[in-house]
């Protein structure tokens, strides 16, 4: 081992034949290794040989490397974990009396900080080469991996921070439907400690009567790769049953569903609010209707009892106003039903919808006007089942507000050139819709210009619920022209498709 301990060659002292022989053997050893490798003296940690991949990775030529000690290669002489390089080398070489020698020591080491930096994964072990003990150090560039891990950690922290600020429960499930990640809101809603939710089946958080809804929703997400919503009851740790809304969607990897993500919302406050508003609306509507009926009844008797024409005119105006308020209350009932049911669009035969709307008209209103219909029987649109109510409302308004002796209303429909839309037009020869009424739908209404256009709002909500739009213009006859732009249906409507008329309500007065 005297060759290993010899002084390194200098310009004043040429290398001995023993030094040259040892260096040649070490060089031949590392040259045979395809990955960056150094050989060091276990006592002094001086670098004695380096292969070309090590020269490329470390950025020093071979001559410079053999003048350096192993700890000199890094930005500092400790690992990323804070352990001195000298201690690791002593442990691997067996020269540390307090630590067991031998084996491979692995560690991360920053050889260069800044941009660009260089971090390596290093493996250090003792080896016998040509009868002498040496330390062999292998390196691999870990810079890209560490940068990617750092970026992923930063993204994870950002996602976690966002998840904790959202006032909803957020979670992710595995392919088996067990919780893999969640935010604090889910833990708070369920009453469980966050750590105890790990590996918990999502369905187990809901009561026996509604957990099947969750199971079915997960199955659809995994099977059909679509987002599904349901409203089960969350069963908290304390046994409380909480109305809950879940929306669950797929997590994919290529063509494969590898999990699901979801959003959960406690509906307790919303349910109470909806219930109280429904009770309030029913009570107000009942009293509103009864009191107005009293007003119209007594006013009608007063009209019959007086002879003063001016007074009769004033009393008739009272009756007209009361009847208008009664219609407003009826429209509000229909609006409440529409909003509470939240209907989804479906294929609807347009001619059938027009027929249903006309049949539901008040017979007195229907008899006052001539209604021309030109709607092809093969047109089908995507709309909610309340479409006949919108048509009935438009025709009712066109006739009711027309002072002509013989009001005329024309209903026509045609497929637009794009073939993706269908136009349904209701036009009349009346006085037209006042600007204040139009402003209701255009958003131009001012606080000093409140319109009574609840009926138009109702029509607009029905149309937009199906993805369509409403436009108001002047007809050729000088009256109003209301165009409903409806999406063309992607498929034929079923023969038994149910359409709702104004009297089809579970909360009929």
Per-residue model confidence (pLDDT) at position 272 = 64
Q: Examine domains 2-146 and 166-266 and report if their fold is the same.
A: yes
Helix, strand, coil tally for the chain in percent (to 5): 40, 25, 30
pLDDT at residue number 17: 44
How far apart, in Å, are the Cα atoms of 349 and each of 3, 232, 380, 497?
99, 34, 4, 9
Confidence of residue 497 (pLDDT cuts 50, 70, 90): low
Q: Given this model, what pLDDT does residue 500 score?
A: 56
Number of Cβ within a 10 Å radius of residue 499: 21
Half-sphere exposure of 219 (CA within 13 A, CB side): 7
pLDDT above 70 (res 380): yes
Taking residues 77-87, what's their average pLDDT? 93
Give the CATH fold of the 345-488 domain.
Heat Shock Protein 90 (3.30.565)
Query: In the chain, what are the domain boundaries?
Result: 2-146, 166-266, 270-339, 345-488
Tell me the fold of 166-266.
Answer: Beta-Lactamase (3.30.450)
Q: For residue 6, what pLDDT is reported?
A: 43
**Per-residue pLDDT, 3:** 46
Q: What is the CATH number of domain 2-146?
A: 3.30.450.20
- At residue 16, the pLDDT reads 42
Residue that has been written with the tokens 């009756």 in this structure: 319
Supply the mean pLDDT for the chain.
83
**Which ranges of 202-308 does DSSP label H, i.e. alpha helix?**
211-224, 268-305
**pLDDT by residue (tens digit) across 203-260?**
999 999 999 999 999 999 999 999 999 999 999 998 999 999 999 999 998 889 999 9
CA distance 213 to 233: 10
Put simply, whether the predicted model's pTM sits higher than 0.85 gets the answer no
Residue 305 — pLDDT band, cuts 50, 70, 90? confident
Span 440-454, average pLDDT: 50
347: left (phi over 0), alpha (psi -120 to 50) or beta: beta
What is the mean predicted confidence (pLDDT) over 62-90? 92
Digit-coded pLDDT (tens) for 283-294 = 666 677 777 788
- Residue range 268-280: mean pLDDT, rounded: 67
Do β-strands 370-374 and 408-415 pair in parallel, antiparallel, or remain unpaired?
Answer: parallel
Rg (CA), the chain: 41
pLDDT value at residue 281: 67
Burial of 360 (0-12, 13-18, 19+ CB in 10 A): buried
């Amino acid at each position: 081992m005297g060759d290993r301990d010899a002084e390194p060659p200098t310009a004043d002292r040429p290398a001995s034949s023993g030094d040259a022989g040892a260096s040649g053997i070490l060089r031949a050893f590392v040259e045979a290794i395809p990955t960056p490798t150094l050989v060091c003296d276990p006592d002094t940690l001086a670098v004695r040989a380096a292969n070309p991949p090590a020269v490329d990775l470390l950025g020093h030529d071979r001559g410079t490397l053999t003048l350096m000690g192993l700890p000199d290669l890094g930005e500092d002489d400790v690992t990323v974990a804070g352990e001195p390089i000298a201690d690791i080398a002593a442990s691997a070489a067996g020269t540390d009396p307090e630590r067991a020698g031998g084996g491979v020591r692995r560690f991360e080491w920053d050889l260069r900080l800044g941009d660009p930096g260089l971090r390596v994964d290093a493996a250090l072990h003792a080896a016998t080469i040509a009868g002498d003990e040496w330390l062999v150090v292998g390196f691999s560039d870990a810079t890209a991996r560490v940068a990617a891990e750092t970026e992923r950690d930063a993204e994870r922290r950002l996602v976690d921070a966002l998840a904790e600020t959202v006032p909803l429960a957020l979670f992710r499930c595995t392919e088996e439907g067990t919780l893999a990640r969640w935010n604090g809101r889910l833990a708070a809603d369920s009453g469980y400690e966050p750590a105890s939710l790990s590996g918990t089946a999502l369905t187990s958080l809901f009561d026996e009567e509604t957990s099947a809804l969750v199971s079915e929703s997960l199955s659809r997400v995994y099977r059909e790769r679509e987002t599904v919503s349901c409203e089960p009851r969350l069963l908290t740790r304390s046994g409380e049953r909480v109305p809950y809304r879940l929306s669950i969607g797929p997590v994919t990897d290529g063509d494969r569903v590898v999990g699901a993500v979801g959003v959960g919302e406690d509906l307790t406050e919303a349910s109470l609010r909806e219930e109280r508003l429904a009770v309030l609306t029913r009570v107000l509507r009942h009293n509103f209707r009864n009191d107005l009926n009293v007003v119209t009844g007594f006013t009608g008797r007063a009209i019959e009892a007086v002879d003063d024409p001016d007074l009769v005119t004033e009393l008739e105006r009272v009756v007209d106003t009361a009847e208008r308020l009664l219609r407003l209350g009826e429209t509000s009932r229909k609006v409440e039903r529409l909003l509470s049911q939240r209907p989804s669009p479906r294929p609807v035969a347009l001619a059938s919808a027009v027929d249903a709307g006309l049949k539901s008209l008040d017979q007195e209103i229907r008899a006052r006007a001539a209604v021309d219909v030109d709607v092809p029987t093969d047109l089908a649109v995507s709309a909610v089942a309340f479409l006949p109510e919108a048509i009935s409302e438009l025709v009712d308004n066109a006739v009711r507000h027309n002072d002509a002796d013989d009001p005329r209303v024309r209903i026509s429909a045609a497929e637009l050139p794009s073939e993706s839309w269908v136009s349904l037009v209701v036009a009349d020869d009346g006085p037209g819709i006042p600007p204040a009424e139009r402003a209701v739908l255009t958003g131009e209404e001012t606080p000093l210009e409140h319109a009574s256009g609840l009926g138009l709002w109702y029509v607009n909500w029905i149309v937009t619920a199906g993805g369509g739009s409403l436009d108001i213009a002047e007809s050729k006859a000088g009256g109003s022209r209301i165009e409903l732009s409806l999406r063309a249906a992607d498929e034929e409507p079923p023969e038994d498709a149910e359409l709702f008329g104004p009297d089809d309500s579970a909360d009929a007065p």
